[in-house]
Amino acid sequence: MQISVDDLSGPEIAAFLEEHVRDMRAVTPLESKHALDLDGLRGPEVTFWAARDGGTLVGCGAVKRIDATHGEIKSMRTAPARKRGGVASRLLAHVISEARRMGYTRLSLETGATEFFAPARALYEKFEFEYCAPFADYKEDPNSAFMTRPL
């Protein structure tokens, strides 16, 4: 599997992210959906990575700068056919490593609090993320779980 920075210009990644946003809308009330759309991910404060296996897009993830030392994980997604196959773990390890290299000393994230998101929360717990209060511009939300870890 190759993980590399992606400029978000190709139709394959656009469709992959559109499916991500559609999935999040299907399981999360609109006021609790925090997934960035394609334009949001293209911002200068975001670094986006795509994971490919044999040229096939199998996952993605991003880090959004909150400030000089604090980043937020965004848009973690694994292709449905590759779930539970190690893609997310390899991608998250890469994102953490790159965030350190970029000078961040803390990574935080928002994910869903419902059962649908239990595998995501378990993944983040495995990587030593701990539950925390809302950060940045987030507010308390019964549909959201907030997690953080030092780097």
This prediction has a pTM of 0.91
Q: What is the pLDDT of residues 53-74, one digit of tens each?
A: 999 999 999 999 999 999 999 9
Total number of domains constituting the chain: 1
DSSP assignment of 48-66 equals EEEEEETTEEEEEEEEEEE
Q: How far apart are CA 94 and CA 49, in angstroms?
A: 9
pLDDT range class, residue 92, cuts 50, 70, 90: very high
Q: What is the CATH number of the domain that holds 78?
A: 3.40.630.30
The residue segments making up the domain with residue 105 are 2-150
